[in-house]
Amino acid sequence: MGQLTHLERLEAESIHIMREVAAEAARPVMLYSIGKDSSVMLHLALKAFHPSPPPFPLLHVDTGWKFREMIAFRDQRARELGLELIVHRNEEGIAGGIGPISHGAGVHTDVMKTQALKQALDAHRFDAAFGGARRDEEKSRAKERIFSFRNAQHRWDPKNQRPELWDLYNGRVRDGESMRVFPLSNWTELDVWQYIHQEAIPVVPLYFAARRPIVERDGQLIMVDDERLPLAEGERPRPMKVRFRTLGCYPLTGAVESDAADVPGVIREMLNARTSERQGRLIDHDEAASMEKKKREGYF
Amino acid sequence: MAEPADIEAYLQQQAAMTTLRFLTCGSVDDGKSTLIGRLLFDAQLIFDDQLVALEADSKRHSTQGSELDFALLVDGLAAEREQGITIDVAYRYFATAKRKFVVADTPGHEQYTRNMASGASHSELAVILVDARKGVLTQTRRHSAIASLFGIRRFVLAVNKMDLVGYDQAVFSAIEAEYRAFAADLGDIAVTALPISAWKGDNVTGPSAAMPWHQGPALLPFLEEVVVEPSGGHGAFRLPVQWVNRPNLDFRGFTGTVAGGTVRPGDDVVALPSGVRSRVTRIVTYDGDLDCAETGQAVTLALADEIDVSRGDVLCHRAHPVQLSDQLAVHLLWMSEDDLIPGRQYRLKSATRTLDCVVTELKHAVNINTLETQAAKKLTLNEVGVANISLSERLAFDPFQDSAPMGGFILMDRRSNATVGVGTLDFSLRRADNVAWQALTIDKAHRAALKHQRPCVIWLTGLSGSGKSTIANLLEARLHDLHRHTYILDGDNVRHGLTRDLGFTEADRVENVRRIGETAKLMVDAGFITIAAFISPYRSERRMVRELLEEGEFIEVFVSTPLDVCEARDPKGLYQKARAGEIENFTGIDAEYQPPVRAELVLDTVAMNAEQNAETILDHLRGIGVLEV
């Protein structure tokens, strides 16, 4: 392996992982969250199975609060590539009016994201689901296996993970159990952007700086993407040149002021960054060890 | 990190960088996590928000007073932070101007040895930490032995906490000498010894003013420059086929990651174990065809001929084929709470092939702390052993010392699917090659035809006192009346001879059933209708016997008698003795019975008497054509 550069090595490893799943799982699916990591994962899937299309559908769990540009990008990519896209929404949650503003980040994420994801996996009886999570994002993710076993209730048991040796992945599950598979486990944020640059992978324009209508909430810059974000009396969104380091539900995703209008610009800013990318994610700040807790409950 | 003047130039320089994957290991307080935290901190790779969180965490959990506790940066699970120890392997990523690094931070406690092995299998180099005040400990030896067992050939001995021994060169030299003496037993490994203080930063990223006597580089500069040998040492081309790519009738490609060597269009290849030959016509990738594919690349090969190659086959050059064997000597690390039992069936995965596997003989256990061997009948969690294994089919492999990707394997439990063992394929026992099956003129069909019967095994399983022997005896008498050639294998009787040396532990029970299964198979081969009456408490062993025989030959009969009924009958007074504690491992009392899930027949001995039950079996034999109606 001495000859391969670090990106070649990461690419080959991810492709190997995807092919193992395609060969061993009965009903695999790729969780497509529309973000930059999903974009890289989708690109790797195109490579892994070329000249065949990826032998699994894409699944997007739509909380109803994603940025509009994300939804437009999602539909355009699926159409261009001719891939099967399953969009799942938690209809119960919608009927109950669950949202991040009315119910808070915790309830909204649990009902519209975690529960919705479990509904979709159960409904289609998927036994392996690819996710774009990386180990460098967060401490509990740093401990998670590439093939992460979930019981029939979709729960992760961090103290009882299957040992994972070499590239001998054990994806065997019984009825109702499943695997979450993370082909980008060993990628860093910088690797992802370098690869996007090298491969000219399309990403949602929200990652690049533009003037956007912004209000401040709890020290975070929140973009007013539609009329559902309540404004204080007399408050008016301020146009600011911002971009997003991660993308999620727009009321829960903080922007950063930026001039980076293209991928090299984003990389340049990242090299000087003094905060990690998840800092813009309001859901992680809820409580200590919050990501581990969410993951145990079935969150990706 | 300074802003690069030219981002494109920076990216080009980045694109050419290689990665070093290494692990850190050491005993509980040797400061592994502190060292990684220090590397990240000194390389300015800790973000402000992480630093703020670290300051808060340090106040809450730290053992280091009000100073920053770098260990809290890497111990990610709630339980680890509470207990202040590393339970699971964590992977960390950092880069310098020269190289990218992936660090596996592995736990030091003996009960997490399996997690350390996982980290070792993903690493090319091991940094072994030793506390300068304590010197080489049992754990130091264990970690080095495990790293070596799982293929690491490059070691750094980092003698840490030099600040606490007054930066004394004599202390360092003594520890280095002791370690080198031990490491000589680990085979062909290279050791570099460095005196450091992770806490103070001496010899971590730069030279230490406190130790001018140390001539070599500091740790990080060393890691930036060290050259590690690629795995797959003999350089022969190997491609384990992962997935057959057939988008349409005109294209058929074999996808996989090159596990060794290089391949070019025009190369003559053979797929093993199937043995079919062809020639590589194209190396297909999304980015266009390649002239050459090297170790580590994930590619798709198109071949000249329409040959039958599938997942699990290994493509190699005809001149340098892989070895084939179904009987191998292995090293094994056991990773499950349930003991490894010779004779029990597991699933083995090596490269892209999954086969049934039985450990036929446990040669010995290896004390991983001293490397001494000792006799063993089973392996428990975290134990290492040397064993012989038998596979359901021939496996294409290379010995692990020649190629980690072609010589490593995992074992999976057939029921829970858990990964229960990991090992290295050491060499073929060559029985598969040299002890060919002697082809005989007269076979099972001839013998059965002479007897005008269809041989089979009627396997009666159930608790002691359930009525197995009584029913078996009546059944044989009825078959004898019908002029059928029969033979009874009875639990008590075989223990007087065939399995006289075995007791009633789980391991011995498994071996007992294995021998009876093989005997039953010989009886069927001889043409007999064979009746076996054994408690045979474990599903996996009954399935093992079923799989020894051909489809339809194994008739599992569950003599279903409730425990309280058996105990009330107690024909041999055994339950009474077991209850009194005079007999150990008695099924139903202090040993488990696993009732069949899909038995061919279930007999109710409460509602029916033994004659009626024997008649039920005869009816079944008529129904499936063993007896004429």
Q: What digits encode the pLDDT tens for the residues B399-408?
A: 998 899 999 9
Q: Which tokens in the block code for residue A44?
A: 């790797």
A164 contacts chain B (CB < 8 A): yes
- Specify the 3-state DSSP secondary structure of B369: coil
A158 contacts chain B (CB < 8 A): yes
Mutate to test the interface with B, among A6, A8, A148 (most CBs of B within 10 A): A6
Does B207 share its domain with B246? no
Q: Is the pLDDT of residue A283 over 80?
A: no
Whether B439 is covered by a domain: the verdict is no
Whether A281 is covered by a domain: the verdict is yes
Mutate to test the interface with A, among B1, B11, B75, B419 (most CBs of A within 10 A): B419
- Specify the 3-state DSSP secondary structure of B384: strand
A201 contacts chain B (CB < 8 A): no
What's residue B69's pLDDT? 67
Does B519 share its domain with B555? yes
Q: Is B536 a catalytic residue?
A: yes
Does B418 share its domain with B483? no
Q: How confident is the model at residue B73 (pLDDT cuts 50, 70, 90)?
A: low
Q: In whole angstroms, what is the distance from residue B171 CA to residue B285 CA?
A: 55
B251 neighbourhood in chain A, CB within 8 Å = 51
Does B454 share its domain with B351? no
- Partners of residue A243 on adjacent β-strands: A256
The string of pLDDT tens digits covering residues A154-176 is: 999 887 889 999 999 999 999 99
**N- to C-terminal Cα separation, chain A:** 31
Q: Is the pLDDT of residue B44 over 70?
A: no
What's residue A1's pLDDT? 41
Please tell me the distance in Å from A4's CA to the nearest CA on chain B.
7
Q: Is the pLDDT of residue A274 over 70?
A: no
* The total number of structural domains that make up chain B: 4
- Residue B338's domain comprises 323-434
Q: In what helix (H) or strand (E) does residue B114 lie, and over which residues does it extend?
A: helix B113-121
Q: In whole angstroms, what is the distance from residue B91 CA to residue B76 CA?
A: 10
Q: Where does B114-250 show beta strands of DSSP type E?
A: 125-131, 154-160, 190-195, 238-240, 243-248
The string of pLDDT tens digits covering residues A203-249 is: 999 999 999 999 999 889 999 999 999 998 989 999 999 999 999 99
Closest among B460, B458, B345, B334 to B392, alpha carbons compared: B345
- Partners of residue B238 on adjacent β-strands: B260, B316
Strands B298-303 and B353-366: unpaired
CATH number assigned to the domain comprising residue A125: 3.40.50.620
Inter-chain residue contact A139 with B74, CB threshold 8 Å: yes
SS3 of chain A: helix, strand, coil, percent, to 5: 45, 15, 40
**Residue with structure tokens 């892209």?**
B352
What's residue B5's pLDDT? 57
Please tell me the distance in Å from A237's CA to the nearest CA on chain B.
27
Mutate to test the interface with B, among A13, A56, A170, A173 (most CBs of B within 10 A): A170
Q: For residue A3, give every residue at least 6 positions away whose Cβ sits within 8 Å of its Cβ, in sequence order, or none.
A: B230, B294, B295, B296
Does B170 share its domain with B56? yes
Q: In what helix (H) or strand (E) does residue B470 lie, and over which residues does it extend?
A: helix B468-481
Inter-chain residue contact B294 with A158, CB threshold 8 Å: no
Q: How confident is the model at residue B49 (pLDDT cuts 50, 70, 90)?
A: low
A11 neighbourhood in chain B, CB within 8 Å = 298
The string of pLDDT tens digits covering residues B99-126 is: 999 988 887 677 778 888 888 999 999 9
The string of pLDDT tens digits covering residues A114-127 is: 999 999 999 999 99
* The total number of structural domains that make up chain A: 2
CATH number assigned to the domain comprising residue B303: 2.40.30.10
Q: Is the pLDDT of residue B414 over 60?
A: yes
Q: How confident is the model at residue B434 (pLDDT cuts 50, 70, 90)?
A: very low
Interface size A-B, in CB pairs within 8 Å, comes to: 198
What's residue A297's pLDDT? 73
Q: Is the pLDDT of residue B80 over 70?
A: no
Cβ atoms within 10 Å of B162's Cβ, excluding its own: 29
Among B93, B229, B410, whose Cβ lies nearest the Cβ of A165? B410
Does B41 share its domain with B185? yes
Closest among B246, B236, B425 to A50, alpha carbons compared: B246
Q: Which of B393, B412, B434 is the last residue of a domain?
A: B434
Look at B5-14, B364-373, B540-549 and tell me which has the smallest mean pLDDT.
Answer: B5-14
Q: In whole angstroms, what is the distance from residue B118 CA to residue B114 CA?
A: 6
Among A8, A174, A188, whose Cβ lies nearest the Cβ of B417? A174
B77 neighbourhood in chain A, CB within 8 Å = 139-140, 143, 158-159, 289, 292
Amino acid identity of residue B39, one-letter, is: L
A51 contacts chain B (CB < 8 A): yes
Q: Which tokens in the block code for residue B28?
A: 């509980």
CATH number assigned to the domain comprising residue B80: 3.40.50.300
Q: In whole angstroms, what is the distance from residue A256 CA to residue A251 CA?
A: 14
Whether B6 is covered by a domain: the verdict is no
Across B386-396, average pLDDT: 94
Whether the CA torsion B51, B52, B54, B59 is positive or negative: it is positive
Catalytic residue among B33, B278, B466, B536: B536
Among B3, B15, B351, whose Cβ lies nearest the Cβ of A271? B3
The string of pLDDT tens digits covering residues B499-531 is: 888 888 888 888 888 899 999 999 999 999 999
Q: ω before B247 within 30° of 0 (cis)?
A: no
- Residue A210's domain comprises 203-285
